[in-house]
Structure 1
Amino acid sequence: MESAELRDREDGAGRTLAVGVVAARTGRLAGLGDPLDFAASFLRPRLTRLTNGGRTYPVRLVCRDSRSTADGGRQAVRELVADEDVRIVVTLAGTQVLPAVADACEEAGVPCVSSAFPWQVYYYGRGAGDATPFRHTYHFCWGLDTIADTFADLWEAVGGPGRTVGCLWNDGPQGAWSRDAERGFAPVARARGHHLVDPSAYTEPATDLSGHVAAFAAAGADLVTSAATGRDLALFRATAAELGATPRLITCSRWLAYPPSATGPARQPAQANVATLVYWTPAHPYRSSLDGTTAAQLADAYEQATGRQWLQPLGLAHALFEVAAHALRTADDPTDPAAVAAAVGRTRLDTVAGRLDWTAGPVPNVATVPLAGGQWQPGSRHDYELAVVTNPHVDGLPVGADLLVHR
């Protein structure tokens, strides 16, 4: 009798808790899916059971390919819901794909946790408002405001306050949200006393950025900020060099989570010596809530398993599973999507990506991640390594290098 009761408690009355994972594995964003794919593989043997209210439930991690498209992301959610009966979905990155996955989960009434996308774009860009939050979808990330503050710290490290900064912004969502007068990057940067030079927006992929180079030079902007792809950033740098107008420093918030690679017409690393935001490194003083794995140990595990350099999104990808597991452990009923969503909404958890607190705002459905300033510099273990060069906001993260500027 005791063994039968024990089996009933352990198998959760036959209710396996499936965690759905939507990651790009094919298409142009396949590289962006690597951290989430690795985290799922890394945690699958470690995350086989969860206990909630004295009952132990089997756990499955089920992955679907977004195919790097919004339609593919929506289809992945439909399959996870219909075929796998997932209790929660996690996803990471993709300007078009991530919102599509979150929207599909909201429509299906399935909890979703996502990251690596500025929270203003996630929240307001998907149609939520201060009085109309989402019911099932949650997110953790930095904001456009914190990007602007981090970049302003970098600009001021070059030459003090009141800098003139050229804006290399496209005509897509990155550019539109950077310019947004109420919730974007621009108003925060201007409030710090900086003058932004914003020529006409370019269309990706860019074919000619000489007009931007000329406009920045005419305005005396020796600093440039951008949300460009690696390809377009390489084109801008090559054009600026040809015209003798190389900026002293470029700050860029897009694609800079990944190590430099030769790209663009100059066949040079687009990110080399470009300054960017730092949200996770092996030096961050964080541990997994699942098993105590440190940031350094996670980065080392990735490099040992893949033979490739660690990636910033790796910490966020791992933390997605920590949040999902915590919600399933603490939900009033882990088999009820509404209860699991409510559990995410009250989550306060120390993860390998830092402290995540959905009870603190800045808006419902969102927890924030602090930023430091970094730069891709020539390294000792890899050709280029992400060095922390400014850090007024992340406790316990050392500044490891001086900011390099073009003279």
Structure 2
Amino acid sequence: MTKMTFTRRSMLRNGIAASAAFAAPTLIGTKARAQGREIKIGFVSPRTGPVAAFGASDDYVLDGVRAAITGGIEINGTVHPVTIITKDSQSNPNRAAEAASELILEDEVDLMLASSTADTTNPVADQCELNEVPCISTDTPWDGHFFGRGGNPAEGFTWTYHFFWGASQIVDAYTSLWDQLDTNKKVGLLWSNDSDGVPLSNETTGLPPLFRAKGYELVDAGFHEPLSDDFSAQISKLKDAGVDIVSGVFLPPDFTTFWVQAAQQSFKPKAVTVAKALVFPTSVEALGDLGSGVSTEIWWSPGHPYASGLTGQSSADFAQGYMDQTGRQWIQPTGFKHALLEVAIDVLKRTKDIDDPESILTAITETDYDSIVGNVNWANGPVKNATTTPVVGGQWVAGDTYPYDLKICENQYAPEVQVQSDFKPL
């Protein structure tokens, strides 16, 4: 730690330690336990801006977790109240960095959490690494998070740990879908020119070499600026190349523009399987009839066989609770937002010295936790600071309660997740 940070924190914590010595015990059940100091968790997520859909279920998740820890959490025989302080990254990396800095320097959080696209997780993690604050993040492909921050697998980072799927898992899921169709194995790729699209387009660590290794020929239509309004050039290139499949990375509004213009220009591939944009039901509904049959990755759903280690809720019950409370269809980030918080609570409970950031860091590295999105264990790699969670492939089809339902159509690398439907061509 820097001298300034260490001195500030040590003064604060020495004061807390002195006051805690005179704290009256609190009665929980039949056992008296000391009342400890307040623990602060920072939580940074995009609530507004182009990727605000990723934060749409934040309130539901936070309400449930706060209710579960309303009496505090026990650490080494002492019960500590926990405050979760939220900040909106506004879908902007500069604002995400500012939010993290505020939480570190003004709120003096003990543990930082960040989620939902590299524009949030990367700058937050960088601030935590700089200020030596323990940080856990999720909902960004691990490769984009790690390599997008200049990570070196031989060294890694010290203070920042991440869990989510990676590029190779996406390729496994996508090609497992496409292999069910009769195609020419030509894939047209389009990339959003942002902190998610750029890393996944990388010819060394991104999707392209992995698609080729699976036997697919690629036609790269290049980068497009976020919130583009004209994809004519890219569509013409893909039509001329005769691609049967379209993939890549889009913001939700960009894919809507692209897919509507593709229909207008009579471009009709057999499959379109896109990361990020097609995760959300609202994005598919915006396509109208053109939404039927589009496909994407599925990282969490009501059909996933995992339960929360904090509340005991199954994935199905947790998703239904969101729909009952909000009247909106379940969304994939909901599971990962909850998992991020339940992993954080587990880490804090196992911390040997809550006043020592390095002790919290040690508890993070020793995590082996079964969450609502599956097991989280950084000892399993693939690099020091990242661990993976399961992902399968799915397709949007006409729904019953809602306009479209996302059905699981392949589970080759996550057989515990049940397949719900065959994959069909557009």
TM-score in terms of structure 1 length: 0.92
Q: Which runs of 4+ in 1 moved over 6 A?
A: none
Matches within 5 A, 1:74-223: 74-159=97-182, 163-223=185-245
Aligned with residue 367 of structure 1, among 369, 387, 391: 387
Q: Please identify, of 321-330 and 72-81, the stretch whose mean Cα deviation from structure 2 is larger.
A: 72-81
- The 3-state SS of whatever aligns with 1:325 is helix
Segments of structure 1 that go 5 or more residues without pairing to the other structure are: none
The answer as to whether partners of 1:391 and 1:397 remain within 8 angstroms in 2 is: yes
SS at match of 1:347: coil
CA–CA separation in structure 1 for the residues paired with 2:25 and 2:337 = 37
Partners of 2:191 and 2:248 within 8 A in 1: yes
- How is 1:281-300 mapped onto 2 (pairs within 5 angstroms)? 281-300=301-320
Indicate whether 1:358 and 2:366 are aligned: no
Deviation for aligned residue 1:134: 1.3
User: Pick from 89, 96, 103: which aligns with 1:73?
Assistant: 96
Alignment partner of 1:305 is 2:325: yes
One-letter amino acid of the structure 2 residue matched with residue 89 of structure 1: M
- Of 17, 35, 38, the match for 1:11: 35
Offset, 1:157: 1.1
Call closer, same or farther: CA 1:47–1:269 in 2, change over 3 Å.
Answer: farther
The residue number in structure 1 matching 2:300 is 280
Match of 2:397 among 366, 377, 381: 377
Q: What SS does the corresponding residue of 2:325 show, helix, strand or coil? A: helix
Structure 1 residue 376: Cα displacement = 1.4
SS at match of 2:347: helix
1:300 Cα offset (Å): 1.4
Q: What SS does the aligned partner of 2:118 have?
A: coil
Are the structure 2 counterparts of residues 270 and 117 from structure 1 closer, same or farther at C-alpha, using a change threshold of 3 Å? farther
CA distance, structure 1, for counterparts of residue 249 and residue 283 of structure 2: 17
* Cα RMSD for the two superposed structures: 2.3
Aligned counterpart, 1:22: 44
Deviation at 1:110, TM superposition (A): 1.3
Q: How many residues align?
A: 401
Q: Which of 247, 253, 273 is the equivalent residue of 1:251?
A: 273
Which secondary structure state, in structure 2, belongs to the residue aligned with residue 10 of structure 1?
A: strand
1:381/1:165 CA distance change after superposition, 3 Å? same
Contact map agreement 1:22 1:76 (CA 8 A) in 2: yes
Q: Secondary structure at the match of 1:375?
A: strand
- Cα gap change, 1:269 to 1:233, in 2 (>3 Å): farther
Partners of 2:289 and 2:357 lie apart in 1 by 45
Q: Secondary structure at the match of 1:250?
A: strand
Sort the Cα spacing of 1:336 and 1:294 in 2 relative to 1 into closer, same or farther, 3 A.
same
Residues 332 and 142 of structure 1, relative CA distance in 2, 3 Å threshold: same
Distance in 2, matches of 1:35 and 1:113, equals 19
SS at match of 1:260: helix
Identity of aligned residues (%): 33
Secondary structure, in 3 states, of the residue corresponding to 1:399?
coil
**What is the DSSP-based 3-state SS (H/G/I as helix, E as strand, rest coil) of the residue aligned with 1:84?**
coil
Could you tell me whether the CA contact under 8 Å between 2:285 and 2:291 is conserved in 1?
A: no
Residue 256 (structure 2) aligns with: 234
Aligned amino acid, residue 11 of structure 1? Q
2:55 to 27, 30, 33: 33
